[in-house]
Structure 1
Amino acid sequence: MDIKEEIHALSEEMLTNLGRLVAIDSQLGTPSEGKPFGEGPAKALEEGLKIAEELGFKTVNLDNYCGYAEMGEGDEIVGIAGHLDIVPVGGDWTYDPFRLTREDDHVYGRGTTDDKGPILEALYAMKLLRDHGVKLNKRVRLIMGCNEETGSKCMDHYNQVAEELSCGFTPDASFPCIHGEKGQLAMIACSKNTRIISMNGGFVSNAMCDTCTTIVPDEDGLKEKLESALSRTKLQEYKVTEENGELTIYAKGIPAHASTPHLGVNAAGVTFECLAKAGFEDDFVEFYNSHIGTACDGSGIGLKFADEYGDLTLCNGIVKTENGVISCTIDIRVPVTLNETDIRKMCQDRLEDKNGRIEITKVVAPLFFPRESPLVNALYKAYTDVTGDTEHKPMVIGGGTYAKSLKNIIAFGPEKEGIDYRIHGADEFILVSGMEEAVLIYMEAIKNMLAI
């Protein structure tokens, strides 16, 4: 039996174990004693470590922030860092998000690709290397984190209590290899004055606002004008209803991750745009359209910029109304050649006027490894040796991973370019064929890193 056949023979076992993890709702919960991220993430970590123990690995739980499975001996550590927490379910699912559902090569469930499936791919890569007697001159450690989607405090804790990695990767992005990650800028836009009664949409800040419900005062002819404007958009669905002198506008856009907002349709942005086209005069409608809009390029606040590694992108994730104030989260992915001083200087004169204001709430620096670095070469070679694909090259992405939290690692797989795995949307899936191939790629990657 060759190695591909051996991996294929383990496929059903991998899926059974993936089902155990997917069944756990591991989104951020209410912290309690000994469970810093709530019940769900702690339960997922317990199950992940249990699976690793069943496969014969030594495991350590680091205070329910994260844990790891390890093999080998030595002072140096080859690290693989994945996460067991998930984003909220959201959206209109065809399948039960917490039950693994297989249809041919597709297996559906929240976390299948982001990032419970890749953790198991790496774990089985370690198992096969061990079972084949590959000589380990370093320890190989698979870290399972519990807070990647909402701050990566799990890795802050790891850095405080555990050993630094010599080199490694996080299986939480794309193949062939990620040698840079854009910086991140979080903002919040707020209304000063608005006639909008309420506006609520989106469920996470790092994904496009794909549904939105807005209530405005009815005006003569406004319903018809809104319907006309909405009919000319790229919304999947819209509806305008009138009751008691108020219009309720429901808009359904297209979901997309904040790193690729151009792939989605912002339901809130389209609603603001259509309100203006319908003649609804409002201070915050004017502010939103002039400062945020639907362009996704940051041009409204002076941040339109591109370098050789990619463009700056802007995503409005959540819109909500509290005490008469509308607020909108803004997630900006910043090209690797821009620093914080540059960013603040570029937008400082565009953050406030009489109609609204925008506040910068968080700045995360970019990550960049030279294309010629030993780690990039080791991982890229593993990918090309297994797949034969030399057309796709190491790249810079807009997403943020554990590579920004742990030293000496970069993101590596498991997604393939050109496939939308719906990682933060409804009906997230993993391909069984891709899962099997990823195990082999990760086996080669570990061997290459042992040689660095």
Structure 2
Amino acid sequence: MDIKEQIHVLSEEMIENLGKLVAVDSQLGTPEEGKPFGEGPAEVLSVGLKIAEELGFYTVNLDNYCGYAEMGEGEEIVGIAGHLDIVPVGGDWSYDPFVLTRKGDYVYGRGTTDDKGPVIEALYAMKLLRDSGVKLNKRVRLIMGCNEETGSKCMEHYNKVAEELSCGFTPDANFPCIHGEKGHMSMMAYSKHTKIISMNGGFVSNAVCDSCTTVIPADIGLKEKLEAALADTKLQEYQVTEENGQIEIYAKGVPAHASTPALGINAAGVTFECLEKAGFEDDFVKFYNTHLGTSCDGAGVGLKCEDAYGNLTFCNGIVKTENGVISCSIDIRVPVTLQEADVRKMCEGKLEDENGRIEIEEIGDPLFFPRESPLVEALYKAYVDVTGDTEHEPMVIGGGTYAKSLKNIIAFGPEKLDIDYHIHSADEFILVSEMEEAVLIYMEAIKNLLAI
């Protein structure tokens, strides 16, 4: 039986184990003693480590921040870092997000592609490599993190209590290979004066605000003007109702990850645009439309720019109202050749006026490995040898992965560039055929890294 047949024989077992991980709601919870990210992440780590133990691996739980499964010997470590935590469910699912549902080649459930499925793929790549008798001159360690989606505090803990990786990858992005990740910048916009009674939308800061409900004072003819403006947009759905001197606007846009916000439709942004078009005079409406807007390029705060590896992206994820103040989260991905000082200088003096203000919360450094580096070459070769695809080259992305938290690793698969797997949105899925292929790619990748 050749290796592809061996992987195919194991595919049902892989899916069964993936179902055990998907069944756990592992989004960030309330911290408690011994469970820094709450009950769900601790439970899913326990499940993941048990699966690894049943496959014959040595396992370690690092205080429920993360854990790992390991094989081989030696001082050097080939690391594979995946995560078991998830973003909130959100959206309108066709299937129960916590029950793995298979429809032909498609397997649905929250975390199937981001990132529980890839953890299973890497685990079975390790198993098959071990069982094949390949000489393991280094240790191979699969790290299972529990806080990638909300800060990567799990990897901060790993760096404090565990050994540094010699080389490796995180299966939490795209094939063929990621040799750079844009810097991450977060901002918050606040209203100073507004007639808007309430505005609330979005569920995570690192995804486009895909639904929004807004309440404003009613005025003669305003409802009709709003309906006309909303009808001329790309919203999936909208509704305008008037009652007791107030108008409520519901807008449903299109979700997208913050690294590619132009693929989505910002429901809050479209609502702000339509309020202005309908003649609703308001200070914060003016501020939002001039400083944030829907262009996704940061032009309103002086940040529109690009380098040889990509352009800056600008995403409004959450809008909420508290004590009469509207706040908007802003997620920005900064080109890899820009440093913090460059970014601050570009937006200096452009973050506040009489209508609103924007505060910079964080500016994170980018990650970049030269295309010709041994790490990039080893992973890219594994991908090409298995798939035969030489059309696609190693690339730079806007998303952030564990590669920024751990030394000597880059992101490597498992997503194909031409498929939308609905990560961070409803009906997230993974393809069984691609799972099988990824196992083989990861086997080759580990062998190449053992040879570095």
TM tier relative to shorter chain: over 0.9
Q: What code does the residue aligned with 1:158 have?
A: Y
- The reply to whether residue 201 of structure 1 matches residue 185 of structure 2 is no
Q: What code does the residue aligned with 2:420 have?
A: D
For 2:114, what is the secondary structure of its paired residue?
coil
For 1:430, what is the secondary structure of its paired residue?
strand
Q: Supply the distance in 1 between the matched residues of 2:332 and 2:77 (Cα, whole angstroms).
A: 34
Q: Supply the distance in 1 between the matched residues of 2:112 and 2:47 (Cα, whole angstroms).
A: 15
Name 1:109's counterpart in structure 2.
Answer: 109
Q: Supply the distance in 1 between the matched residues of 2:119 and 2:107 (Cα, whole angstroms).
A: 16
Q: Supply the distance in 1 between the matched residues of 2:384 and 2:225 (Cα, whole angstroms).
A: 55
Alpha-carbon offset, residue 349 of structure 1 = 1.1
Alpha-carbon offset, residue 346 of structure 1 = 0.3
Q: TM-score by structure 2 length?
A: 1.00
Name 1:348's counterpart in structure 2.
Answer: 348
Which residues in structure 2 correspond to 1:170-319 (within 5 Å)? 170-319=170-319
- The reply to whether residue 61 of structure 1 matches residue 61 of structure 2 is yes
Name 1:8's counterpart in structure 2.
Answer: 8
Q: Supply the distance in 1 between the matched residues of 2:166 and 2:306 (Cα, whole angstroms).
A: 33
Alpha-carbon offset, residue 363 of structure 1 = 1.1
Q: Supply the distance in 1 between the matched residues of 2:274 and 2:335 (Cα, whole angstroms).
A: 31
Name 1:140's counterpart in structure 2.
Answer: 140
Name 1:84's counterpart in structure 2.
Answer: 84
For 1:186, what is the secondary structure of its paired residue?
strand
Runs of 4+ in 1 over 2 A off after TM superposition: none
Which residues in structure 2 correspond to 1:338-417 (within 5 Å)? 338-417=338-417
Q: Supply the distance in 1 between the matched residues of 2:229 and 2:215 (Cα, whole angstroms).
A: 16
Name 1:329's counterpart in structure 2.
Answer: 329
Q: Supply the distance in 1 between the matched residues of 2:348 and 2:219 (Cα, whole angstroms).
A: 37
Q: Supply the distance in 1 between the matched residues of 2:279 and 2:208 (Cα, whole angstroms).
A: 26
Alpha-carbon offset, residue 272 of structure 1 = 0.1
Q: What code does the residue aligned with 1:20 have?
A: K
For 1:168, what is the secondary structure of its paired residue?
strand
For 1:32, what is the secondary structure of its paired residue?
coil
Alpha-carbon offset, residue 40 of structure 1 = 0.2
Identical residues among aligned pairs (%): 82
Name 1:429's counterpart in structure 2.
Answer: 429
- The reply to whether residue 442 of structure 1 matches residue 449 of structure 2 is no
Alpha-carbon offset, residue 230 of structure 1 = 0.4
**1:96-116 per-position Cα deviation (integer Å, ceiling 9, x unaligned):** 000000111110000000000
Which residues in structure 2 correspond to 1:159-178 (within 5 Å)? 159-178=159-178
For 1:349, what is the secondary structure of its paired residue?
coil
Count of matched residue positions in the alignment of Structure 1 and Structure 2: 452
Name 2:158's counterpart in structure 1.
Answer: 158
For 2:331, what is the secondary structure of its paired residue?
strand
Q: Supply the distance in 1 between the matched residues of 2:228 and 2:434 (Cα, whole angstroms).
A: 44
**1:267-287 per-position Cα deviation (integer Å, ceiling 9, x unaligned):** 000000000000000000000
**1:345-385 per-position Cα deviation (integer Å, ceiling 9, x unaligned):** 00011100000000001111000000000000000000000
For 1:281, what is the secondary structure of its paired residue?
coil
Q: What code does the residue aligned with 2:255 have?
A: P
**1:17-41 per-position Cα deviation (integer Å, ceiling 9, x unaligned):** 0000000000000000000000000
Alpha-carbon offset, residue 121 of structure 1 = 0.2
Q: What code does the residue aligned with 1:210 have?
A: D
Q: TM-score by structure 1 length?
A: 1.00
Q: What code does the residue aligned with 1:264 have?
A: G
Q: Supply the distance in 2 between the matched residues of 1:261 and 1:337 (Cα, whole angstroms).
A: 21
Alpha-carbon offset, residue 42 of structure 1 = 0.2
For 2:348, what is the secondary structure of its paired residue?
helix
Name 2:44's counterpart in structure 1.
Answer: 44
Q: What code does the residue aligned with 1:60 have?
A: V
Name 2:96's counterpart in structure 1.
Answer: 96
For 2:433, what is the secondary structure of its paired residue?
helix
Q: What code does the residue aligned with 2:280 have?
A: F
Alpha-carbon offset, residue 194 of structure 1 = 0.2
- The reply to whether residue 70 of structure 1 matches residue 70 of structure 2 is yes
Name 2:451's counterpart in structure 1.
Answer: 451
Alpha-carbon offset, residue 341 of structure 1 = 0.3
**1:258-304 per-position Cα deviation (integer Å, ceiling 9, x unaligned):** 00001000000000000000000000000000000000000000000
Alignment root-mean-square deviation, CA: 0.4
Q: Supply the distance in 1 between the matched residues of 2:121 and 2:363 (Cα, whole angstroms).
A: 32
Q: What code does the residue aligned with 2:292 have?
A: I
Unaligned runs of 5+ in 2: none
For 1:319, what is the secondary structure of its paired residue?
strand
Q: Supply the distance in 2 between the matched residues of 1:257 and 1:103 (Cα, whole angstroms).
A: 25
Q: Supply the distance in 1 between the matched residues of 2:234 and 2:308 (Cα, whole angstroms).
A: 30
Alpha-carbon offset, residue 235 of structure 1 = 0.2
**1:47-70 per-position Cα deviation (integer Å, ceiling 9, x unaligned):** 000000000000000000000000
Name 2:130's counterpart in structure 1.
Answer: 130
Q: Supply the distance in 1 between the matched residues of 2:418 and 2:325 (Cα, whole angstroms).
A: 40
Name 1:32's counterpart in structure 2.
Answer: 32
Q: Supply the distance in 2 between the matched residues of 1:316 and 1:432 (Cα, whole angstroms).
A: 34
Unaligned runs of 5+ in 1: none
**1:163-190 per-position Cα deviation (integer Å, ceiling 9, x unaligned):** 0000000000000000000001000000
